[in-house]
Amino acid sequence: MQAKIKKVELRNLEFDDYKQLKKSMVESYPEMADSYWKEQDIEKLLGLFSEGQLVILADGKVVGAALSLIVDEILVDKNPNYAKITGNFTFSTHNPKGEILYGIDVFIHPEYRGLRLGRRLYDARKELCEKLNLKAIVFAGRIPNYNKHAEKLTPKKYIEKVKLKELHDPVLSFQLSNDFHVMRIMKNYLAGDIDSKEFAVLLEWNNIYYDESPQLINTQKSIIRLGLIQWQMRPLINLEALFEQAEFFIDAISGYKSDFALFPELFIAPLMADYNHLSEPDAIRELAKYADPIRKRFQELAISYNINIISGSMPYLENGTLYNVGFLCKRDGTSEMYYKIHITPNEVLHWGMKGGSQIRTFDTDCGKIGIMICYDVEFPEMARLMADEEMNILFVPFLTDTQSGYIRVKHCAQARAIENECYVAIAGCVGNLPKVNNMDIQYAQTAVFTPSDFAFPSTGIKAETTPNTEMTLIVDVDLNLLKELHEHGSARILKDRRTDLYEIKKINP
């Protein structure tokens, strides 16, 4: 049974983690229960190369690890077995001046598999390889399903069938999906590995940024990938149908390694059809009961797909007051709520909504971001306050029923990008909802806007969708271009403000 997780943490292994590490390793390798790393092994490994030892924690518990050495390329080329590559388990082969990051172990506790936690460990290894300017990551992967086919297939033929997806191997299939390629087959690699018939596959991931010079490359992440969802309003049977459609888009966007998924404002409105017999204020308050279940499910999806999800917006009841809110569900399992500050006349008239009272930015693993809901983007003071907090990307989920309403959102969003020297991403709903009062028609064109200078598109539009068509928009934005703009742009709006004459500040910070 797959475990539920509230928070995920990826960090370097510490010696105090040993008891949990041992327990997870024993349960990960039931067929080799006595082959866990001893306490003195971990102590020595940390002393030699602490930076290369990684663990995944779920709610504070070690549930996976990736252990590594740096070795000479010639050692790998000699095709040794596991004992030789690790210096007969003494780690004497570790050489800080070597060219290869060699993976000596990786595992995920069985109860936490299927959440793509192993992928996070491999991504962290790749980042480490780039940071240390190493040539490649190499390790020998077991082929535990080979014993089921050994009578009919040679190891070579078995590997070919796994590559073609005619067969599945829990280890090799995973490695191939993580951009590792097969170098060669190794015989008598790990004594006692009955499932693999003691065969292993030497796998390699090449660091395309490798520089033979000793100078380390700049590994600071600059390119952030945004995945925007232009959501089609359609009848939905129940909440699970909405989750199914939402997960479809999250799966698609995360498949392109997007860092963020942005849903539109009030994209859950089709669920209000069941309450169309009620008055509009009562119907919207019935819809508010879905907010917490949506937050919980999106938190799970953020973990599982390793993506930060901005959940658009939805009605939310707080102490009897109706707000328009959304949730930033981070890929570490945590979530934060944001409020629509400015409420449109229709939202007040038909639903009795009120605006929130907190203007803030959010810290993410991709830097500081801002989130505004639709009408908010038409008030420039909010974005300027966020820019003062060093916001780089502003996300705007919106819902507009007419083209004129959309044009207000579009041009105001473009203005926010220019005047605050940031990227602005907007995503809206399209289609019709004939059985939902006050939500019958939608008009949208999802887009990413940029500042206006030589490093950016001359139109200030990085990309945009086809209007009124359900689709996704996946866009890369470069934060280093913003840094250059702030200091050396042909117009430096933030730096050139006359703060001696005027200022904008929060009344209730």
Per-residue tokens: 469: 């068509």
149: which residues sit within 8 A by CB, 6+ positions away? 158, 167
What percentage of the chain's residues is helix, strand, coil (to nearest 5)?
Answer: 35, 25, 40
Q: Catalytic residue, from 99, 130, 340, 366: name it.
A: 340
Q: What is the DSSP letter of 263?
A: P
Phi-psi region of 451 (alpha: psi -120 to 50; beta: other; left: phi over 0): beta
CA-based radius of gyration for the chain: 26
Q: Are 263 and 229 in contact (CB under 8 A)?
A: yes
What DSSP letter does each residue of 448-468 carry, written as one string?
EE--SSTTS-TTSEEEEPPTT
Burial class (CB in 10 A: 0-12, 13-18, 19+), 68: buried
Two tokens, residue 68: 């590594």
Q: Choosing from 99, 130, 265, 421, which is the catalytic residue?
A: 265
Report the alpha-carbon distance of residue 408 to residue 395 in Å, rounded.
Answer: 16
Give the relative orientation of helices 18-28 and 39-49 as an angle to the nearest 10 degrees: 110
β-pairing, 393-398 with 362-364?
unpaired
CB 475 within 8 A of CB 462: yes
Packing angle of the helix pair 403-419, 380-388 (nearest 10 deg): 30
Q: Is position 340 annotated as part of the catalytic site?
A: yes
C-alpha distances in Å from residue 299, one per residue of 59, 310, 327, 330:
14, 10, 9, 7
* Active-site residue identified among 374, 412, 422, 429: 374
The residues carrying an active-site annotation are 265, 340, 374
